[in-house]
Structure 1
Amino acid sequence: MRVLLIKMSSMGDVFHTFPALTDAQHAIPGLVVDWVVEEAFAEIPAWHPVVDRVLPIKLRQWRKQPFAKQTRAQKNAFFNKVNEQRYDLVLDAQGLLKSAWVTRQLNAPKVGLDWSSARERLASFFYDRKINVAKDQHAITRLRELFAKALDYPLPNTPIEYGLNHQAWLPLEQAPNPQSQPYVVCLHGTTWQTKYWPEDHWQALITQLNQQGLKVVLPWGNAEEKARSERLAQGLNEHQAQRALEVWCPPAPLKLDEVARLLKHAKAVVSVDTGLSHVAAALDVPLVVLYRVTDPKLVGAQGQKVTHLCSPLAPHYIKKFKLGQEQASLQGLGVDDVLQMLNKQGACHG
């Protein structure tokens, strides 16, 4: 059986799909999956052994200039290439109008979520077969159920298994050697200001980890994150003089596969709510995720070694603090709370 999967973005959504792929691989001998994904995430699907071809799509770019000559040419070339392959079915695992539009361009039976299950209900009109999946479940659970119903196998009652081919990944050459210098990765970059963890909290955590013989690694992906990493690496803030810290800050932004290798060989990872937390979860690294103003119930990082720390305001998705909320959003997210969770996971000793 050959299936074409439509799951284009975001990073978290892509990683949420892996456990369902693992279920399907176990249930259907000889299953082959090709995957249409946004170009920015094109290297990720191939990490799963059941994925044969990764088909990068420039949908975000096309939507900016939908009537441009170059856009039309790229669309035609992309769909002509995909339709050269025969598929037993196309599975839209995203349930959005944009993913449904992509699905409709493909020459195979089309399966997706029904009216009551899709995030954008009108998407359900584009499918030949419609699947009902309850919405009040974590995204990973929903996807496992969708795949089971779409591909006709019993939904397994087993723990989450990402099933990625990461066993042979070597440590990152330029990073600290995990054997001689065990390290903790701190993922401080995220999208909303309200999701950040204060820099003085990060610095206090770094100091505590150093005292336990652990180096700290501070990857970054843009100029703002680089500046924060450098401040933390130098032990600088407006209240303190410079302190000597055992920290490695990459001199250049790392590629996604390099970040993944860095995470895989970490002693532990501490992260705010960001896409890279899902990468760490999929790699079975001890992980503590700080949910300051977002709720992990439906889309949080999940895995055998994942711990969530949630503030009382986590369910409220606050993008701008009102009076009194900023301090309340840090309740339960103190440095000692993080260290306690790392100790429980056995990850806080060098």
Structure 2
Amino acid sequence: MDPANQRAQHRSALGLSRELQQDRTDHPSLPSRGGSRGYPLWFRLRVLDAAHTVSVEQASDQYGVSAASIYRWQGRVTPYRMTGGEERADLVGYDLLLLAIVVAIFPCATLDEIATFILANGGDVYSNPQISERLKELQITRKRCTKEAYDAFSERTQRRVRWFMTLPPPLGVYRVWMQRLIDIDKTGFYLKSCSPNYGRGLICQRVRNPSHYIKNALRVNVILAIEPGDPRLPAIVDGSIENPRRWMKITIQNIDQHVFADFCDETCTDLENNPVNNGLDDERVFMWDNLTAHKTALVINTVEGRVSNNNFQTMNRPPYHPKLAPIEYVFCELACELSRRARRDWDAARLQQEIAVIIGQLGRN
């Protein structure tokens, strides 16, 4: 079982509903002033501990609780479920079973999808407030889904992280000036959402949803290369910290080894033909993630085997460690700005134009 689920279930058994739940006061108000739910479970347990230590009468005087309540709590400390005084008429029986089934097999379903599932399988028609209230009573809450890579902390991955920090290229960045690094990666944007971020589950459990990507949907692919900038260069010069260079390729074609090799060739050619005065373009190290398209003989020969006065090298970043990839932060800024500008009437051409404009503005002071 997931350690987070074990901790959540342990807290739930103690009567706590949230990790950050805090008691507002040691002496809660009387049930007559706080509604018909009675005293909370943690307060009842505290009174019972005092009654076992001293006596029921002294605990009654100390906490302001009647002795009859303490005797009743000794037989059953958990309060009975509130029924509302009337028999439930909606979402019961077979419909309640359908509700539990749809949450179990499709935790990211919306309220409309849940209602459709119940109706399609022989249930009644229910409104969104009815379904939401029933889920709340079942302690099924809506929360952000977690998408985890369990191989991130494996021994193999951690070993590659150590190599990356302590060995020279092609295994690591040891003794490599940061100004010589060029981070390259690719990403893609759809004109619609690919994976929901929220789902429903029991209050003491996480919600996990396998991420799905639609291969036949139109996708705008972006290959981007960035440099950190050279602090020795003046601010007005391209390649400085204030004006770092960007190399990009925006296309709707699939990114295979040939497309990626062409992009690397264009980047190397630009560094050869347009070097920065007093810069470090004579020796560059290309850094990218551990994808198959990046490690083919075509790509490696295009970068390292080219006939040039410059020296180009390649290295692979360790997997599952985006903190070691500066370009991931640029992609986050790009996605955030795109989501802010996006409109429903956009097409693929407009999306490509906006991506090019945003990339040209990122990282420039």
| Short-chain TM bin | 0.3 to 0.5
More helix by share: 2
Provide the TM-score with structure 1 as the length reference. 0.34
TM-score normalised to structure 2 length: 0.33
